[in-house]
């Protein structure tokens, strides 16, 4: 016979299941997150080439993929001399340093999107420099990054942005996503002690603000190509403004509101480039902290952990498993606060 107490418990359980069906699924255990991180890092380490690099699908974008994979490994806490992934990080550093050209470009000039690789490499190598203990390697990194900053300044368009290639190579074309990659790379360099001319960053920030619409959405580029605001570029833009130390009361609140409207559900079903968008939006909300981050963390971590592959990587999107695995691992490891560029 069912007692009244048992009956009440059953009723409460049924109501909870109907009214709050997503409460349990929204929570993810720390142990599950740690396991996903460990398996993902092992996947990355095991898929590094003997030359020290990683690639996207069809062996594309080795510079960008190596920098992003390196950032994910650094986020674990390893450096070039300490930690489980020190050998992998050293090989990645060696590969990217070897890609440094006489004009300062890190990458290959025949890559039709070389500014992505250049910007991500500045970011990765600047984070390495901050913890580098070997004197000779420090001097080498300072030289490479100093040249890289000069190249970035010379590659900037008249409008203040950057395109997939330099202004000279790309007929002064620019767009938002590559612009943001350069600004974050420059900020990493500046934090590591590399001189960065203020006017380069100021022009880029002005470019981003000019691309911002009344609703807070940031357009693809200043010329208005691609229509209105785009959630991925907008998320990257607010992260870029924060990195640059720009917290103005006109643009930042407007852009944040746009991001909340379009990105808080984390499903990303209404736009492309999910990993790009949430790579930057996660940085923004982690920096903000508080209940907002805690709520978001529960949703985004649950989604990422649940989508991990049986082999430990994340085989998602058209760019490839290295890209999505590196991005997901960087998001999951933000709370570790290891890398200065992502710290609160």
**Model confidence over 80-137: pLDDT tens digits?**
999 999 999 999 999 999 999 999 999 999 999 999 999 999 999 999 998 898 999 9
Residues 6+ apart with CB under 8 A from 215: 228, 229, 254, 258
Task: Report the C-alpha gap between 143 and 104 in whole angstroms.
Answer: 9
Task: Report the C-alpha gap between 162 and 182 in whole angstroms.
Answer: 8
Confidence of residue 13 (pLDDT cuts 50, 70, 90): very low
pLDDT at residue number 226: 67
**Contact predicate 237/209, CB 8 Å:** no
**Contact predicate 155/114, CB 8 Å:** no
Strand, helix or coil for residue 212: strand
Task: Report the C-alpha gap between 205 and 190 in whole angstroms.
Answer: 16
Q: The pTM is what?
A: 0.91
pLDDT at residue number 243: 84
> Which residue stretches of the chain are H helix?
4-19, 23-26, 30-46, 62-75, 86-98, 114-131, 135-155, 176-191, 198-210, 231-243, 251-263, 274-288, 290-306, 321-332
Would you say residue 305 has pLDDT above 80? yes
pLDDT at residue number 274: 95
The model's pLDDT over 234-254, given as tens digits with 9 standing for 90+, comes to 999 999 999 888 777 789 999
Maximum separation of any 2 CA atoms in the chain, in Å: 84
For each of the domains in the chain, give its residue range(s) and CATH number, in order of start. Answer: 28-342 (1.50.10.20)
pLDDT at residue number 127: 97
**Contact predicate 192/130, CB 8 Å:** yes
Task: Report the C-alpha gap between 21 and 4 in whole angstroms.
Answer: 25
Residues 59-73, mean pLDDT to the nearest whole number: 98
């Amino acid at each position: 016979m069912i007692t009244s107490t048992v009956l009440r418990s059953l009723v409460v359980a049924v109501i909870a299941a109907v009214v709050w069906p997503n409460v349990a699924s929204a929570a993810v255990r720390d142990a599950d997150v740690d396991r996903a991180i460990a398996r993902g890092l092992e996947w990355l380490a095991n898929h590094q080439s003997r030359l020290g690099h990683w690639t996207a699908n069809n062996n594309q974008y080795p510079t960008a993929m190596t920098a992003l994979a390196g950032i994910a490994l650094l986020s674990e806490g390893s450096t070039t001399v300490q930690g489980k992934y020190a050998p992998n990080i050293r090989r990645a550093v060696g590969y990217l340093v070897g890609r440094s050209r006489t004009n300062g470009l890190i990458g290959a000039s025949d890559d039709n999107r070389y500014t992505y690789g250049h910007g991500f490499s500045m970011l990765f190598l600047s984070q390495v420099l901050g913890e580098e203990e070997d004197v000779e390697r420090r001097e080498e990194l300072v030289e490479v990054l100093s040249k890289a900053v000069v190249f970035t300044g010379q590659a900037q368009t008249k409008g203040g942005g950057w395109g997939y290639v330099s202004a000279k190579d790309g007929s002064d074309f620019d767009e938002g996503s590559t612009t943001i990659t350069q600004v974050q790379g420059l900020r990493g360099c500046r934090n590591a002690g590399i001189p960065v001319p203020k006017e380069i960053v100021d022009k880029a920030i002005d470019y981003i603000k000019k691309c911002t619409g009344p609703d807070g959405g940031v357009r693809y580029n200043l010329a208005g190509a691609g229509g209105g605001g785009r959630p991925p570029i907008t998320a990257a833009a607010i992260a870029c403004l924060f990195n640059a130390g720009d917290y103005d009361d006109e643009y930042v609140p407007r852009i944040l509101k746009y991001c909340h409207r379009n990105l808080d559900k984390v499903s990303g079903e209404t736009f492309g480039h999910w990993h790009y968008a949430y790579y930057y939006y996660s940085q923004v909300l982690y920096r903000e902290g508080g209940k907002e981050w805690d709520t978001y963390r529960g949703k985004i971590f649950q989604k990422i952990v649940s989508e991990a592959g049986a082999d430990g990587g994340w085989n998602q999107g058209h760019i490839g498993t290295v890209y999505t695995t590196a991005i997901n691992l960087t998001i999951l490891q933000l709370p570790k606060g290891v890398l200065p560029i992502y710290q609160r």
